[in-house]
Chain A
Amino acid sequence: EVVLTQSPGTLTLSPGERATLSCRASQPVKSNYLTWYQQKPGQAPRLLIFGASIRATGIPDRFSGSGSGTDFTLTISRLEPEDFAVYYCQHYQPSPLFGQGTRLEI
């Protein structure tokens, strides 16, 4: 069974900086099924990126995704105050599974 490992566990940055979040799969996975979500306290997760690199509707272009095989990256080019949240990657092989999350904090 595939395991998704996200790093770092916590990332401390300031507004205006660039954030790079990693999601590593224990074996090669299909990029078409690699998804990123953002979750703020007290809220449900929000779809950010699907197919490893496609922004969901309404997601600002400062968010980008890349990667293939076992290594995937979520990049936020210039952090805004509202971007500080927890980010999860998710795949579906053979059923939905999530990484443990990266907390992005100020």
Chain B
Amino acid sequence: GEDVEQSLFLSVREGDSSVINCTYTDSSSTYLYWYKQEPGAGLQLLTYIFSNMDMKQDQRLTVLLNKKDKHLSLRIADTQTGDSAIYFCAEEGESGYSTLTFGKGTMLLVSP
């Protein structure tokens, strides 16, 4: 079955880069997503990557995809205290109707 794994916690200092990692098992994944969730709030789509891409950059965010190893990472450059949140990795399979499998989330804590 499908499974998405993430490390649970990451702590960085303001201004440093953050790298959040994710592994998945479904080789038929079509799209992979990164969502951000602040306490008591909904999910904010940060970025996504199609499975035939290796890298995608969007301002401070860089997504790297290693399809062979089924490894996805999210790099946040110049991390700010406002980036403190839980980050979820999610994959979309080939079902064709957009159901997502989420990891348990990585809590990013940015200290001044």
Chain B binds chain A: no
B interface with A by C-beta (< 8 Å)? none
A interface with B by C-beta (< 8 Å)? none
